[in-house]
Amino acid sequence: MESALVTMACVSYQYPRVRSLALHDISLDIQPGEFLGLIGPTGAGKTTLCLALNGIVPQFYGGRFFGHVRVAGFDTLEHPISVLARRVGLVFEDPETQLIATSVENEIAFALENLKVPREEIIARIPRALEAVRLEGTEKKHPHELSGGQKQRLAIAAALAIQPALLILDEPTSQLDPVGAREVFATVSELNRELGVTVLLSGHAAEELAEYADRVALLVEGALLQVDTPDAIYSDIPRLLAADLRPPQVAQSFSRMRERGVRVPHIPVRLDAGIAALERMRDPAAPPPAAPPTPRPVLGEPLLAARDLHHVYNDGTHALRGITLDIRAGEYVLIIGQNGAGKSTLVKHFLKLLEPTRGDARVGGTSTRDLSVSGLARRIGYVAQNPDSQIFNATVADEVAFALKNLKYPQAEVDARVDESLQAMGLRAARDQHPLALPRGDRARVVIAAILAMRPDVIIFDEPTTGQDYRGARYILDISRELHQMGKTVIIITHHLYLMPEYAERVLVMGKGTLLLDAPIRRAYHAIDLLRATYLTPPQAVFLARALRASDAGDYPLLTPDEVAACVAGQPIAWAEEQRWAR
């Protein structure tokens, strides 16, 4: 057998001033040329494990370290990080925080210059790295001119340029729209297959890891529970759900079919295998499903409105192009679209964080030009895409109390609301911790808790599920639903379309600053070609529904794995709308 590129033997690690172990007795080999996926809930230790492979843990963080890690023959505790960095390339989740140079080629050269690679060699490596990630021709561009997916590919190119034996990507697609994510996975897979680069990729992208990884390692509370093929890992639905992880929708669909008595010999984990299996299993004589319930109309005066809204940024970017829409009190609205479609720009107009270049944004019938930012902040809570940009206090409790204190609420009221919000977000135990020391998912909850404490009428969540594990994402969305049931108007911007059928009623599809579609969620998710036009991909359940429809003329407007399973089993469908209303 080929000797392993990475060997971890009985590795445990304890961060300074923390009693629990971040990693516990990890033993793992990674073979040369392997593509290993690393999955686990938020806080499972995925990032710590990645950082242990290039010595940053423990050389930078300190703490206590047990066992041995060897990468390409180098013990990570006996060699400095600068030596290990030549063997291990590391790409983090947020491309923005990794790019520092003023041009693409300088970005790639930066690490090489620091490693004292000769100039001629640097010049030779830049085009090779760019070609590997399909970014040729962008050498002179500023990294910020690139799209999200391109930026992440540039970060990968910079890591590749040092010619590492191991390429580690820590949640590289969680900040990207579906197309950006697909670009990154396609690139990494190509590097792995064609150039033989050994890859360790951690993240929550179940569908993609099921498709591309050779093996998947399941990490829970710092311990490695299972290392196996994607088929073995992703077809064990109960185990994944117990670990707060989301299985691919295709696997969920077939698992539910099995639960409903359909004979499913093998649970597929990839969409193509699922569609093929569905075509074999389906009874061509079975009638199409009954029609789903009609969406409930929401009446009343518009609470938020846009009229021919245009916005042009100072750099000339025309971000909104004549948006006209109404959002009524009590609606739950999902806004989707590619990165740069204008989603965040639109909602910021309702908060007066941006002002229209032309047209009008109205709140409660009044133009935002006549309203103050502070007045709007009391009525509309905004949870920004990057929670860190909204955090500046030294403790979680202070962060939640900050706005209330500034609005001169009595101390008893402040304390009560802070307690209530921390309880709602499951953060009471962290109340005295520094917010920035919490995992990203918890940092987002801190910001939401601070917004909840203000008790606004409208709450806008801008990518609230980014960086969250399945449970964390559902947890936040469940809160959004509770708020909706309390009569609040909820607006959510997200790329995670598969999470939303149980929550959203209405979908605004945006593309290049325009409103492409305003429709109930079921119709919007089945507008596959239009979604593709704005670089979105519907959930796998929609493709399975389409596969069912392919063989007869019936209508299959299915949205969720459960609906697909019920349809295949010929049983009554519990439509997502009915479940929403029943809650």
Name 218's bridge partners: 39, 226
What is the sign, positive or negative, of the torsion defined by CA atoms of 510, 514, 515, 516? Answer: negative
Write down the least CB distance from residue 461 to another protein, Å: 26
Q: Within 10 A of 570 (CB to CB), how many other CB atoms are there?
A: 13
Rounded to whole angstroms, the Cα distance separating 212 from 35 reads: 8
Minimum distance, C-beta of residue 80 to another protein, in the bound complex (Å): 4
Query: Binding to another protein by residue 97, rule CB under 8 A?
Result: no
The residue within the footprint of another protein, chosen from 1, 2, 3, 17 (CB under 8 A), is: 17
The residue among 66 and 409 lying less far from another protein, judged by its C-beta, is 66
> Quick check: 100 binds another protein (CB under 8 A)?
no
Q: Per CB under 8 A, which of residues 385..404 are in contact with another protein?
A: 394
Does residue 376 interact with another protein by CB under 8 A? no
Q: Whole-number minimum distance, CB 60 to another protein, in Å?
A: 6
Q: Does 113 bind another protein (CB under 8 A)?
A: no
Chain centre to alpha carbon of residue 285: 40
CA separation for the pair 306, 14 (Å, rounded): 52
Which residues between 437 and 496 bind another protein (CB under 8 A)?
Answer: 437
Tokens read off for 294: 């009609």
Q: Are strands 198-202 and 35-39 parallel, antiparallel or unpaired?
A: parallel
CB of 313 to another protein, least distance (A): 31
- 123 binding another protein? (CB under 8 A): no
To the nearest whole angstrom, how small is the minimum distance from the Cβ of residue 95 to another protein?
22
- Which residue from 82, 97, 357, 423 is in contact with another protein, where contact means CB under 8 A? 82
Q: Which of residues 44-73 bind another protein (CB under 8 A)?
A: 55, 58-68
The crossing angle, in degrees rounded to 10, of helices 540-550 and 561-569 is 30
In angstroms, rounded to a whole number, what is the distance separating the alpha carbons of residues 219 and 379?
Answer: 42
Q: How far is the CB of 390 from another protein (least distance, A)?
A: 17
Tell me how far apart the alpha carbons of residues 583 and 575 are, in angstroms, rounded to a whole number: 13
Query: Cβ atoms within 10 A of the Cβ of 574, count?
Result: 13
CB of 322 to another protein, least distance (A): 46
Which residue in 79, 134, 471, 512 binds another protein (CB under 8 A)?
Answer: 79
Minimum CB separation from another protein for residue 315, in Å? 29
Q: In terms of CB distance, is 135 or 220 closer to another protein?
A: 220
Q: For residues 232 and 394, which CB has a smaller minimum distance to another protein in the complex?
A: 394
Using rule CB under 8 A, residue 226 touches another protein: no
* Smallest gap from residue 195 Cβ to another protein (A): 30
Closer Cβ to another protein, 65 or 543, answer by number: 65
Contact segment (CB under 8 A) with another protein among 20-28, 247-255, 333-341, 525-533 equals 20-28
Which residue of 5, 6, 15, 400 would you call a contact of another protein, by CB under 8 A?
Answer: 15
From the list 4-12, 208-216, 352-360, 362-370, the region that binds another protein by CB under 8 A is 4-12
Using CB under 8 A as the binding rule, whether residue 114 contacts another protein is answered as no
Question: Which of the stretches 15-23, 97-105, 266-274, 531-539 binds another protein when contact is defined by CB under 8 A?
Answer: 15-23
Q: Which residue, 487, 425, 439, is CA-closest to 459? A: 487
Q: How far is the CB of 222 from another protein (least distance, A)?
A: 9
Contact flag: residue 110 with another protein (CB under 8 A): no
Q: How many residues bind another protein (CB under 8 A)?
A: 37
Q: How far is the CB of 308 from another protein (least distance, A)?
A: 46
Q: Work out whether 313 is an interface residue with another protein (CB under 8 A).
A: no
Interface with another protein in residues 429-448 (CB under 8 A): 433-434, 436-437
Q: What is the per-residue DSSP string for 455-513?
A: --SEEEEESTTTT--HHHHHHHHHHHHHHHHTT-EEEEE-S-GGG-TTT-SEEEEEETT
Query: Count of CB atoms within 10 A of residue 317's CB?
Result: 12
Tokens 């820590």 identify what position? 170
The rounded distance, in Å, linking the Cα atoms of 416 and 552 is 59
- Does the protein bind another protein through residue 358 (CB under 8 A)? no
Answer for which of 4, 7, 12, 103 binds another protein (CB under 8 A) is: 12
Closest CA to 168 of 278, 82, 54, 274: 54
State the Cα–Cα distance between residues 22 and 35, nearest whole angstrom: 24
Instruction: Tell me if 501 sits within 8 A of 560, measured CB to CB.
Output: yes
Q: Please give the C-alpha separations between residue 23 and each of 6, 20, 42, 77, in angstroms, as whole numbers.
A: 16, 9, 13, 16
Distance CA 83, CA 81 (A): 5
- Burial pattern 26-36, b for ≥16 Cβ within 10 A else e, equals bebbbeeebbb
Where do contacts with another protein occur on this chain (CB under 8 A)? 9-12, 14-21, 24-25, 55, 58-68, 77-82, 394, 433-434, 436-437
